[in-house]
Amino acid sequence: MMMHRIMVLDDDDQVRDSLVFFLEDEGFDVLGAVSGEDALEKLSEGGVEVVVVDLRLPGMDGTAFIHEAHKKWPELSFVMYTGSPEFRIPEDLASLGCVSPSLFLKPLIEPEAMSSEITRLISEK
Amino acid sequence: MSQLKNKLNTTAFPKENRVVFFVFWIMCVLILAGPYAPEARAVNIRSSVLLLHSYHPDLVWSRNVSKGVKTVLGTMPFPVDVRSEYMDTKRMNDPEYLDKLEEIYKVKYEGRKPDVIISADNNALNFLVERGQSLFPGVPTVFLGVNDFSEAMLKGRKDITGVVEAVGISGTIDAALRLYPETNRIVAYASDTSTALSNSRLFLKSSKEFTGRADFELKTGMSAEEATRHAAMLPQDTAILILSYLKEANGEIHPLEKTAKLISESSSVPVFSLWGFMLGHGIVGGKLISGVNQGETAAGMTVRILKGESVDNISIVRSSPNAYMFDAQQLKRLGYNAAGMPLGSTIVNKELSFYDRHKVKVWGAAGVFFVMVAVIMVLCRAVLARRKAERELRSSKERYDLVAKGTNDGIWDWDRNTDSVFFSPRWKEIIGYEDHEVANDIEEWKSRIHPEDYERVMDANNKFFKDHVDRFMVEYRMRTKKGDYRWILGRGTCLRDSEGQPYRLAGAHTDITERREAEEELRYLRNYLENIINSMPSVLIGIDASCNVTQWNMQAEKVTGLSSEKALGQSLGEAFPALREDRNRIMSAMMEGATLVDPPRVLNLKGEARYKDFTVFPLSGDDRGGAVIRIDDVTQRVRLEQMMMQTEKMMSLGGLAAGMAHEINNPLAGILGNLHNLRRRVYSDLEVNKQAADKVGVSLTDIRAYFEERDIPKLLNGIANSAGRAATIVRNMLSFSRKSDKHFEYHNIEQLLEETLELASSDYDLKRKYDFKKINIDRDYASGLPAVYCEGNEIRQVFLNLIKNAAEATSEKSYEGENPIISLRTAKESGMLVVEVEDNGPGMAEEELKRVFEPFYTSKPVGAGTGLGLSVSYFIVTDQHEGKMEVESLPGSWTRFTVRLPVG
């Protein structure tokens, strides 16, 4: 079976690693990135279909990253995952069509919801 | 007279009658003195003088002689009795007649001889010289009127003296020429009698004295008629001199007086003659033989004899005592040169003076005059007294008028005896009438009294009669001519009779309409001001300079429970004990005139703690001092400020919480994520798990058994629970502090309730103070309820408040045999979604129920609650969501809040 490559962008090591482990256990080929810049570099290697993006990041924030990445790789999908409960997906991101309408808040009580959303995003391509 | 005088003087008279009496006394003296004085003098022994006339008493000559004699003898200090005898020898002079006379005198004077005899004219002297010694032996004789006297005539008698008579022709002519200087001729008439001849000789002799001055012409032998005719034709520069008797045509002697009259009447020139008795009969005058002078001279000699002087020593007076005498009538008729009037002349026949003519009348008039004077004096005195009284009366009247005018009062005066009334013009003017328009009748007054005042006025009036009051004062209205009413201040007093009944009432009317209107206005303003003061939401207290209450408004009554009536006059500390300690500060504020403003303070009034602002305004512009204290209830403001501070705090806390939540959520995500991975790598049947187990040579089953044996799943669950709870807390906390704008969405009401319950159970206060876990939550949610369009956060806040209150309520009650329960019910009722939050706490009293939604109302101790929770909830439900919010309670059993929200 072919393994779908996805990326988890989060500056928090524990959060990133735990999500990477989970998604690997779910059968994805998972890359970790600690910042937007790091992620863009790793994406250029190709093969990534979905990126789980944290909003608050050192340097380029999640929103800016999505815009940047979308320009370069329009086929790329994004899932937003944040610790800021008041966050709503802004219109400009939603209108891109590449961002999952489901917003995932930290901590994830049911991580399976995210894996199934990622699976859904990949399957829609 | 002196006796009379003494008698009068000794009589006592009232002082006031003295003037009147004095006048009468003078009058009496004047009236009585005249008639009675001579009698009073007739006292002494009399001397006796016999006046023996040669002729008869009808002759003017004889009368003049008598007059002269009596004039002198009458003035003697001793009384002299004068007897007159008239020998009438002009008619009869023969020796037989003289013998008879002698016989008569002898009989008559035998034994009553006079002290002195005065003989008048030649015949009497001759009679006495020849017969006197036998008739009146030793009686001295004084002769007068003797013509052509010679010593021989006395025949050696030594006891005879006297005064001769001689005509004054030269003197007369001299006077004639002086009085009539234009006279150039003197015409003299004479007859052929011895006297005429003698006088004619003397005339001719004296013509020599006047040679060159006037021509002398002697006419003898003319009868009286002839002389009269002659005289009538004399030129103007002539003067006539009658030297003697003239005869009539028949040879009879024509009386001299008649002759003179005829001549002077027919002639226009002055006529002169030589004898005094002819005066008044037409002659101008001359140096005339005067019977009076002869008599006076002889009487003077007689006096000397009576006084005891010897006749020898008294020499005969040989020059006739003639006198210049003139007739004023003739002088006036003819005119005369006044400068030529000889010195010592006697003017007779003057126009009789008024006094001469009316002597009796004059004296009578004088008497009347004096009586009148006396009466006038008496009257004057009376008039003066009356005038004084009048002046005083006038002054009094003027004073009365002035006062009445000054006070502008109307005067009334009611005499009950005569039932007459006086209303002054001003009295009538006050009610708009002219003086004549209102009759002086008491009914005129009564009928104009305002019906509402009538009883009161009559009562005041009757006090005179019933209560024996001496003064009354009453204010009432009187109808005016126009029909409107004027306010009158009626004042009066009365006079009482011996039985104490008033018989005369009088007083004044003052028009006090303006005053009453001003009072009315004042009353209105005071009332208006009172209303304004009372409408104030502030406590307003007026105090005087000594801190006693002078004003106490309704708010003050409400706050203190002390009525204005009781508070007025009390000291501020008594009336408002909460301000007792401020007395000194208030006093000094009044002294300095500076407004005192205190920051809000907590005052416990009627057992309720309220925030009050306290301001003292010292009264300015009034010497009496004092101040107004204003106390405002600013509890609401203070609470709002506190709420704002709280909100501000929450806002900043909200910002902080949002940041914190993010930071906490990351580790939580790490914990929970890894925990999840851990569980999955042990318990799930993942291919990688089997591969890894195979690789190390243990079966998953063994590992799981080991975990089971060591209670590892339990530990993992503990981590999961703790982290999960931490995650919930953070989420809920954020959801309440979120600064987001109002965000209306469709919400499941059940879900909102549950979320709120979740939050409440994690509420620190609830957990600490009230053991929330011990409270049974009884859910009774209706199924199939529609979503509610609402602001979720706000509704959550409402529910939280209700649940917290319910939890607090249960903590106030001790439960025996039951548990504290909070019942949550939902239902749908007529388009509204109903949520009930009920507790089985102590319940609320009715008073508390009424006020429970009031802002700042709290049953909690000061500082424990803002008192806003329920009121904000009420606001959110009713205002923001157009819902309803109610509370019900059964004290001691339960309290139920019901929230109704519109569906859709």
Plot region of A106 (φ>0 → left; ψ -120 to 50 → alpha; else → beta): beta
Residue A110 has pLDDT above 90, yes or no: no
What's the per-residue H, E or C state across B500-564? CCEEEEEEEEEECHHHHHHHHHHHHHHHHHHHHHHHCCCEEEEECCCCEEEEECHHHHHHHCCCH
Most distant pair of Cα atoms in chain A: their distance = 39
A11, A23, A25, best to mutate vs chain B, most B CBs in 10 Å = A25
Q: What residues of chain A lie within 8 A of the CB of B728, using their CB? A: none
Cis peptide bond N-terminal to A107, omega within 30: yes
- Cβ–Cβ under 8 Å, residues B793 and B753: no
C-beta atoms surrounding B403 within 10 Å: 12
Dihedral of alpha carbons B56, B59, B61, B63, sign: positive
H or E stretch covering A101? strand A99-105
The string over A61-91, giving b where at least 16 C-beta atoms fall within 10 Å of a residue's C-beta and e elsewhere, is: ebbebbebbbeebeebbbbbbbbbbbbeeee
| Residue among A15, A24, A109 whose CB faces B670 most closely | A15
Q: What residues of chain A lie within 8 A of the CB of B740, using their CB? A: 86
Question: Quick one: pLDDT at residue B789?
Answer: 87
Helices (H), B208-290: 224-232, 256-266
Query: Which chain B residue's Cα is nearest to A111?
Result: B673
Min Cα distance A6 → chain B (Å) is 18
Residue B721 touches partner A, C-beta closer than 8 Å? no
Q: Rounded CA gap, B648 and B698, in Å?
A: 61
Q: Give the N- to C-terminal CA distance of chain A in Å, as an integer.
A: 17
Predicted TM-score (pTM) of the model is 0.37
Which residues does B365 contact at the CB level (< 8 Å), separation at least 6? Answer: none
Question: Quick one: pLDDT at residue B9?
Answer: 43
Question: Quick one: pLDDT at residue B608?
Answer: 65
Tokens of B636: 């609401």
Q: What residues of chain A lie within 8 A of the CB of B662, using their CB? A: 56, 82-84
B206 by DSSP, 3-state: which?
A: helix
- Name the CA dihedral angle for B500, B503, B507, B513, rounded to a multiple of 10 degrees: 100
Q: What residues of chain A lie within 8 A of the CB of B735, using their CB? A: 85
DSSP state of B350: P
- Cβ–Cβ under 8 Å, residues A53 and A66: yes
Q: Rounded CA gap, B259 and B275, in Å?
A: 13
B524 by DSSP, 3-state: which?
A: helix
- Cβ–Cβ under 8 Å, residues B649 and B732: no
Residue found by looking up tokens 């620190």 in the block: B764
Cis peptide bond N-terminal to B57, omega within 30: no
Interface touch A108/B735, C-beta < 8 Å: no
Q: Rounded CA gap, B430 and B509, in Å?
A: 8
Question: Quick one: pLDDT at residue B855?
Answer: 63
Q: Rounded CA gap, B311 and B631, in Å?
A: 146
A10, A16, A54, A106, best to mutate vs chain B, most B CBs in 10 Å = A106
- Cβ–Cβ under 8 Å, residues B564 and B552: yes
Name residue B48's beta-bridge partners. Answer: B81
Tokens of A95: 């209108």
Enumerate chain A positions whose Cβ falls within 8 A of a Cβ in B: 12, 14-15, 17-19, 21-22, 24-25, 56, 82-86, 105-109, 111
Question: Quick one: pLDDT at residue B116?
Answer: 92
Give me the total of CB pairs closer than 8 Å, taking one residue from chain A and one from chain B.
85
Question: Quick one: pLDDT at residue B846?
Answer: 82
| Residue among A18, A19, A109 whose CB faces B724 most closely | A109
Tokens of A13: 């090591």
Q: How far is CA B665 from each of CA A12, B239, B728, B731, rounded to the nearest angstrom?
A: 11, 190, 10, 9
| Residue among B664, B665, B673 whose CB faces A18 most closely | B673
What is the helix, strand, coil percentage profile of chain B, to 5?
50, 20, 30
Question: Quick one: pLDDT at residue B791?
Answer: 84
Q: Rounded CA gap, B412 and B493, in Å?
A: 11
Question: Quick one: pLDDT at residue B521?
Answer: 92
- Cβ–Cβ under 8 Å, residues A82 and A106: yes
B672, B687, B732, B743, best to mutate vs chain A, most A CBs in 10 Å = B672
Tokens of A104: 């995932």
Q: Rounded CA gap, B19 and B818, in Å?
A: 134
Tokens of B729: 């807390």
**CA B472 to chain CA centroid, nearest Å:** 22
Question: Quick one: pLDDT at residue B485?
Answer: 92
C-beta atoms surrounding B421 within 10 Å: 19
Q: Rounded CA gap, B670 and A12, in Å?
A: 8
pLDDT along chain B (904 residues), means of 10: 43 50 59 46 67 89 90 85 89 88 89 90 90 87 90 87 90 90 91 84 88 88 88 90 86 84 89 88 89 91 89 88 89 87 85 77 88 90 88 86 83 87 90 89 90 90 80 90 92 86 88 90 91 89 90 88 89 86 87 85 69 86 84 81 70 68 85 90 88 91 91 89 80 57 79 86 63 83 88 85 86 82 91 92 84 70 58 80 90 91 83
Q: Rounded CA gap, A114 and B449, in Å?
A: 107
Task: Characterize the bridge pairing of strands B832-839 and B821-829.
Answer: antiparallel
Question: Quick one: pLDDT at residue B860?
Answer: 62
| Residue among B680, B724, B740 whose CB faces A25 most closely | B680
What's the per-residue H, E or C state across B754-812? HHHHHHHHHCHHHHHHCCHHHCEEEEECCCCCCCEEEEHHHHHHHHHHHHHHHHHHHHC
DSSP state of B742: P
Q: Rounded CA gap, B221 and B656, in Å?
A: 193
Residue B565 CB-density burial (10 A; 0-12 exposed, 13-18 middle, 19+ buried): exposed
Tokens of B568: 């007025």
pLDDT, tens only, A52-96: 999 888 889 899 999 999 999 999 999 999 887 777 888 888 888
Task: Characterize the bridge pairing of strands B80-86 and B47-53.
Answer: parallel
Tokens of B175: 């006077």
Tokens of A25: 């256990």
Tokens of B634: 């600013």
- Name the CA dihedral angle for B792, B795, B800, B805, rounded to a multiple of 10 degrees: 180
